[in-house]
Amino acid sequence: MWNWPSTFSLLTPFDDDNTIYSVHFYEPLLFTHQKAPWMHNHEIQETRTYPADYGSGFVRKYGFNQSAGIWDRSRLVREFDPVNVFRKKYNAQVICNEFGVYTPVELQAQLRWYDDLLSVLKEMDIGFSYWNYKNLDFGIISIGEQLHENLPQYNNLQRINNPVLDVLRKY
């Protein structure tokens, strides 16, 4: 799977100082994508919190098992270890430019996940950019769409998910 932290142990670096390596992160998918309508595994339809133990996880595409075990900040550190090893070994610039939690997931659990993930990225000197600024299913701003218009985090004049934005700004 492309751009996963675990794949960094398989990367061969480019001989180019202008390269920035990209990583995506959505684990544990059982938490970050819970009840997302495009996810068809029955395990995804359960309400979950973070941090938590997700047991045996679930089997997704290509027979790949995801989300198994205990997920907390220390697990995020372990997940990003291959990225950090690569970054240090090759003096490489790395950015996590796709990550997030499906907007309808319970907000306080989302904030804990964002705070843990972003603190790990900062500790490892891995940059980040929040990939979905407006609308869709992970957006900070909800303008001109009705899908998530009734969620409390958008209940302000600017329709900004301020709690998530505040965590992003913290780092």
DSSP assignments along 79-114, one per residue: HHHHHHHHHHHHT-EEEEEEE---TTS-HHHHHHHH
Query: Looking at the domain 5-170, which fold is it?
Result: TIM Barrel (3.20.20)
Model-level pTM? Answer: 0.94
CB proximity list for 77: less than 8 A, separation 6 or greater: 120, 123
Structure tokens, 143: 């303008």
pLDDT in tens, 113-147: 999 999 999 999 999 999 777 767 888 888 877 77
Give tens-digit pLDDT for 48-102: 999 999 999 998 877 788 899 999 999 999 999 999 999 999 999 999 999 999 9
pLDDT tens digits along 24-41 = 999 999 999 999 999 988
Q: At what angle do helices 162-170 and 107-123 cross, to 10 degrees?
A: 20
Non-local (6+) Cβ contacts of 108 within 8 A are none
List the chain domain ranges.
Answer: 5-170
Residue 149 near residue 156 (C-beta atoms within 8 A): no
